[in-house]
Amino acid sequence: MSAIPEKMSGYAIGQQDFSVLRTDGAIYVDKTEYIYKVVNSNSKYFFLARPRRFGKSLFLSTLRYFFEGRRELFKGLYIDSTDWDWEPYPVLRLDLNTDRYAEKGKLGGVLDNLFRRWEREYGVEMIADSHSQRFQNIIEAAHEKTGRKVVILVDEYDKPLVGNLNKKDNFEHYRSALASLYSNFKSSAEHIRLVFLTGVSRFSKLSVFSDLNNINDITFDNAYANICGITEEELLKYFQEGVTKLSQQLGLNYEKGVKELKRNYDGYRFASEGSDIYNPWSLLNALSKSHIGNYWNETGMPTLLAESLKKVNADLESMFNRNVREDDLKGLDLLNPDPVALLYQTGYLTIKKYKPRLRKYELGIPNNEVKEGFYRVLLPYYVKTRTETSNMAVDGIIDGFIEGEPEKAMRYMQSFFAGVDYMMKMENENNFHNAFFLLTHIIGLDTKTEVHTSDGSIDITIDTDEYLYIIELKYDHSAEEALRQIEEKQYARPWQTEEREIILIGAAFSSATRCIEEWKIKREK
């Protein structure tokens, strides 16, 4: 029996095994109250969808050791103080996140490895031909041998489908195989204590949902809103030492260090009354390294999003601040995927507000990390430009505006537009405004458009800690004219008491060269 260390101090980055996490002394954010809700509900079948790297696998691992009766691992946690009897159940965990399923035979190999072990463990004498029948025999044998009903945990139940969106034959092969496999949840119901599935989306037209009409989808349930991820209350409770160290490294006090973490990694929300949630992968990496970085983006773009966006011609800008119903986000028809649902399910959009009278969610980009990643992942689908040009330009634009070097920022902005594909529409001033706004907004700058003043509306403002930029854009007119409009209409007046430096920029786009032709800059104290 492994002892649990008295002091938890390590960061469980990428650790998805609850037992290893606990015995190694890593900090565990106690989510066991949700296990108690699950086992004491009237439901036997549960489904939870969350974006990648949000702790779904760790929660399933925690469920596994809980049902196996490993009480020593739960010492000091919420569930240890409850009336649970800790008698062990047979647990079958199907982890489908172990392969990419590029070929039809991959799922069979994953299942064979699992089923052979379970057939030996539970004494299955007759090995059936089909995986579905083998699974059924294992479920029945486990119940018979142990005298307790079976707990089935399915991690990333949709992974074989996600990897084959553009391969019709493979997709249909896996859809049929999974439908047959998951049909056992209904046909073997008398032998089952609990089924808990996780994934990216609740796919429509898959038997696990059509056959199990009593499945409890807790994806948008307020009672389970914080089941994965880290709330601000949990951040301050479990990670004070890490926040202190990060703040010192950044030259900030504790409160400002928290704000920096919040700006970069907080902002997710998964229910109408849910708390704001930090991305646990990014947060733990930042605390471990005492460095603010783009950790979530570095784990790769989800295939579901990448492959599907190739099929649709969606207006990216229109997706920001969208109002949608829950059903618009819940299910997904893979033959005709909704880009907004994809962006939500993969974590690039999240719930920002719930409007009860309309029964609609207002969506938005979660945080600064996602904004910066958004550009590199998604903008190329909408603004076709040379990759080597655009990546260098983005870094230069960000650095220039943040460091108070607008000349540098505009040079790189000009470089970006020079690399834009000729087929991109730039035939009027509105399209130029949209492209300029979209680029600055997505790469993480605090950008606002059509900011109203007493004498008109400012095309674009960009806010940084030390500078406020007021930008007027002109199409086939001079930059001098744009700058003169800012001054004549006194657009800077509302910020006269600002301690930050105010920088005025007039920029002109030429329809002939399809590029930013010139700009004029004026600094004001």
| Strand ranges, E, within 131-244 | 150-155, 192-199, 202-203, 216-217, 230-231
Return the ∠ at Cα 270 (arms to 222 and 277), rounded to 5°. 105
Quote the pLDDT of residue 423: 41
Give the mean pLDDT of the chain: 87
The model's pLDDT over 176-202, given as tens digits with 9 standing for 90+, comes to 999 999 999 999 999 999 999 999 887
Domain at 18-224: CATH code: 3.40.50
Distances in Å between the alpha carbon of 371 and those of 65, 201, 364, 367, 387?
A: 37, 22, 10, 6, 18
Quote the pLDDT of residue 329: 87
Quote the pLDDT of residue 171: 86
- Among 60-64, 70-74, 215-219, the range scoring the smallest mean pLDDT is 215-219
Name the pTM for this structure. Answer: 0.81
Cα–chain center distance at 452: 33
Residue 162 near residue 303 (C-beta atoms within 8 A): yes
Confidence of residue 5 (pLDDT cuts 50, 70, 90): confident
Quote the pLDDT of residue 429: 56
Pairing mode, if any, of strands 192-199 and 202-203?
A: unpaired
DSSP letter, residue 5: P
| Percentage of the chain exceeding pLDDT 70 | 85
Quote the pLDDT of residue 343: 85
Q: Give me the mean pLDDT over the 268-292 stretch.
A: 95
The model's pLDDT over 212-264, given as tens digits with 9 standing for 90+, comes to 778 999 999 999 999 999 999 999 999 999 999 999 999 999 999 999 999 99
How far apart, in whole angstroms, are the C-alpha atoms of residue 420 and residue 136? 56
Structural domain spans, the chain? 18-224, 230-298, 300-368, 384-524
- Phi, psi of 163, rounded to the nearest 5 degrees: -80, 0
The answer, yes or no, to whether residue 139 has pLDDT greater than 70, is yes
The answer, yes or no, to whether residue 285 has pLDDT greater than 50, is yes
Confidence of residue 422 (pLDDT cuts 50, 70, 90): very low
Quote the pLDDT of residue 207: 66
Which of the listed ranges 26-30, 101-105, 373-377 does the model predict with the highest average pLDDT? 26-30
Domain at 384-524: CATH code: 3.40.1350
